[in-house]
Each structure stands twice: as C-alpha cells, then as structure tokens.
C-alpha cells in the first residue's frame, strides 16, 4: 500500500484541485445534507465478523446530542455496557456487581467503555465527525487510487488533546461519497489499518456506509467486517 501513500501525499495534480476542507464539506453534504447526525438517536444493529469466520450480532445505541452510548451482545453471556456523560454501567447476564477479572475479560472498565463510545461515535459518524473542533485538515485533496478506484485523499491530523493518529480519507470525486479511510499511529512505520466501505443504508436523511472491511497496513491482512443490518430510531 506504500504506492497509495506516495500518491496521497504528492502535490495536487491534474485539472481537479480541491482544498481539503472543501472536499470534506462536499462529502458531509452527500452523507448528511440536512445535518441529521447531530440529532441522531437510534440503535445500530451490526453483524461483526472476525478473521476466523466467527460472527456476533451487536446492538449499539447512540444518542448523539445526549452523549449516550449502549452496547449489547446477546450472548451467551449477555454483555451490556453503557455510558451517559462520564457515568458508566455494565452487566453480564444481568449481574452488575462484577469482579475485576470479569470486567477485564469483557472490557467493562469505565475507561474501556468510554473508548468504545468514542470509537462508535467517530467511525459511524464519519465523515460528519471531521467537522469537529480539534481536527486539522490538509490543505489539498490529493488525487490517488484506493482499491483500484480513482479518488481524492484528504489528510487529517488532530490537536494533541484530541488525538495523535494520522488519517487519510478517500472520496469518490464524482459523488463525494466516502469510500474508505486509513490511519497510522506512526506513519513512518506504516503501521495502523485501512478500512474499505461498501453499500449504503439510508435513514432519516443520512447515507451511512453499510459495510466496513478492515485490513492491516503492513501486510493487507484481513482483520474483520462490520455490517449494518438495521437502524432502529429511538425518537
């Protein structure tokens, strides 16, 4: 994938030269033309498939304006974790008094639950989340290829208090649809992962990418698939 990186950071070429902020604004307009994400409240029903072929159906409830997050695996065992503000709750088969070993096994520490909330809010809120404060957008959207498609790549970093990873977001220049993204913890080491998006789920004015396939940057190793089965509005 290093050839993609070289193309992504090269100077703007060809007739189409678009500033990074403009490209992201157009992508946000494609996926969320009426600003619905900021008021989204609903449950994402997800099939999560791992490299060994195992799968699980998760229910992820998000209330964006309220900052509420709830994640449920039906089990067995049935695992539920939630956070409102910075107050965390967790249970396993309905039991809420959990010892340290159980919390560690199912990642139910409050810090871990907050990480999960931020993960789902960020990834399922893309590209809208790229308008958040603390986001540093590269000057140009750079022509390159991603998965054999001609795209524009926008480089994004963050203020130190927000995040330390480097991201590239790949946009279809014909529609401005987000078709994939890539992140590095250390770009010089070519670590991190890239995600290929496909399909679309239309709900409440949002165009949400339906399927996310994850791969490792160093070896293109398959890491898993997350597929959106349904969205159940809460309001």
Show the CA angle centred on residue 127, arms to residues 70 and 131, nearest 5°. 95
At 86, the pLDDT band (50, 70, 90 cuts) reads confident
pLDDT at res. 8: 36
pTM summary value: 0.89
For residue range 199-218, list pLDDT tens digits in order.
999 999 999 999 999 999 99
Q: What structural domains and CATH numbers belong to the chain?
A: 2-226 (2.50.20)
Q: Quick one: tokens of 138?
A: 């590269």
Surface-to-core class of residue 108, CB atoms within 10 Å of its CB (0-12 exposed, 13-18 middle, 19+ buried):
buried
Q: What is the mean pLDDT of residues 95-120?
A: 95
Mean per-residue pLDDT of the chain: 92
pLDDT band at 2 (very low <50, low <70, confident <90, very high): very low
Assess contact for 179 and 197: CB atoms under 8 A. yes
Tens digits of residue pLDDT in 121-155: 999 999 999 999 999 999 999 999 999 999 999 99
13-27, 60-74, 153-167, 174-188: least confidently modelled range: 13-27
Q: With helix as H, strand as E and coil as C, how does the chain read?
A: CHHHHHHHHCCCCCCCCEEHHHHHHHHHHHHECCCCHHHCEEEEEEEEECCCCCEEEEEEEEECCCCEEEEEECCCCCEEEEEECCEEEEEECCECCCCHHHHHHCCCCHHHHHHHHHHHHHHHCCCHHHHCCCEEECCEEEEEEECCEEEEEEEEEECCCCCCCEEEEEECCCCCCEEEEEEECCHHHCCCEEEEEEEEEEECCEEEEEEEEEEECCCCCEEEEEEEEEEEECC
Report yes or no: 136 and 159 within 8 Å, Cβ to Cβ.
yes
At residue 3, does pLDDT exceed 50? no
Q: How confident is the model at residue 234 (pLDDT cuts 50, 70, 90)?
A: confident
Residue 14's pLDDT is 44
What's the pLDDT at 235? 63
Q: What is the pLDDT of residue 16?
A: 60
Nearest-angstrom CA–CA distance, 62 and 130: 18
Q: What would the mean pLDDT of 29-58 be, rounded to a whole number?
A: 95
């Amino acid at each position: 994938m290093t050839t993609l990186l070289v193309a992504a950071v090269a100077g703007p070429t060809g007739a189409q030269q678009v500033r990074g902020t403009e490209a992201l604004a157009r992508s946000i307009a494609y996926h969320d033309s009426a600003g619905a994400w900021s008021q989204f409240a609903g449950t994402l029903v997800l099939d999560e498939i791992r490299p060994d072929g195992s799968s699980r159906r998760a229910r992820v409830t998000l209330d964006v304006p309220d900052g509420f997050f709830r994640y449920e695996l039906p089990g067995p065992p049935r695992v539920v974790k939630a956070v409102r503000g910075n107050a965390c709750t967790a249970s396993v088969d309905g039991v809420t008094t959990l010892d340290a070993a159980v919390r560690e096994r199912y990642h139910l520490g409050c810090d871990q639950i907050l990480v999960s909330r931020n993960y789902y809010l960020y990834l399922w809120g893309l590209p809208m989340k790229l308008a958040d404060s603390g986001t540093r957008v590269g000057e140009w959207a750079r022509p390159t290829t991603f998965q054999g498609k001609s795209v524009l790549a926008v480089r994004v970093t963050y203020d130190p208090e927000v995040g330390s990873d480097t991201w590239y977001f790949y946009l279809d220049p014909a529609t401005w649809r987000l078709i994939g993204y890539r992140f590095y913890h250390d770009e010089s080491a070519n670590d991190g992962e890239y995600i290929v998006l496909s399909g679309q789920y239309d709900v409440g004015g949002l165009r949400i990418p339906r399927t996310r396939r994850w791969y490792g940057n160093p070896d293109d190793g398959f890491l898993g698939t997350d597929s959106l089965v349904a969205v159940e509005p809460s309001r």
